[in-house]
Amino acid sequence: MSKIRIAILISGRGSNMESLLQACTAPDFPAETAVVIANRPDAAGIAKAQGYGIQTSIVDHRQYVGRAAFEEALQETLLKHAPVDLVCLAGFMRILTADFVNQWQDRMINIHPSLLPDYKGLDTHARALADGRAETGCTVHYVIPAMDEGPVIVQKRVPILVGDTVDSLAARVLAEEHQAYPEAVRIVAARLSGLHRA
User: Of 35, 34, 24, which Cα lies nearest the Cα of 1?
Assistant: 24
Edge-first strand order for the sheet with 108-112 is 56-58, 31-38, 4-10, 86-89, 108-112, 135-142, 152-159
Q: Nearer to ligand GRF by C-beta: 27 or 155?
A: 155
- Cβ nearer to ligand GRF, comparing 172 with 186: 172
Question: Judged by CB under 6 A, does residue 176 bind ligand GRF?
Answer: no
Active site residue 141: no
Residues at the binding site for (6R)-10-formyltetrahydrofolate are 67, 93-96, 110
Euclidean distance between CA atoms 41 and 56, whole angstroms: 11
Q: Shortest approach of ligand GRF to residue 6 CB, angstroms?
A: 15
Tell me if 150 contacts ligand GRF by CB under 6 A: no
Q: Does residue number 177 form part of the binding site for ligand GRF (CB under 6 A)?
A: yes
Q: By C-beta, is 4 or 136 nearer to ligand GRF?
A: 136
Site residues for ligand GRF, window 103-122 (CB under 6 A)? 111-113
Binding region: 14-16, 67, 93-96, 110
Catalytic residue, chosen from 81, 112, 125, 196, is 112
Q: How far apart are the first and last CA of the chain?
A: 17
Closest distance of CB 30 from ligand GRF, Å = 21
56-63: which pairs have CB atoms within 8 A and are 24 or more residues apart?
A: 57/81, 61/94
Interaction residues for ligand GRF, span 19-38 (CB under 6 A): none
- From the CB of 163, what's the least distance to ligand GRF, in Å? 21
CB 138 within 8 Å of CB 149: no
| Residue 12 contacts ligand GRF per CB under 6 A | yes
Which residue's Cβ has the minimum distance to ligand GRF?
A: 91
Question: Is residue 127 exposed (0-12), middle (13-18) or buried (19+ Cβ within 10 Å)?
Answer: middle
Distance (Å, whole) CA 18 – CA 33? 11
Q: Could you tell me the smallest distance in angstroms from the CB atom of residue 197 to ligand GRF?
A: 32
Catalytic residue positions?
112
Which residues make up the interface to ligand GRF (CB under 6 A)?
10, 12-17, 90-91, 111-113, 174, 177
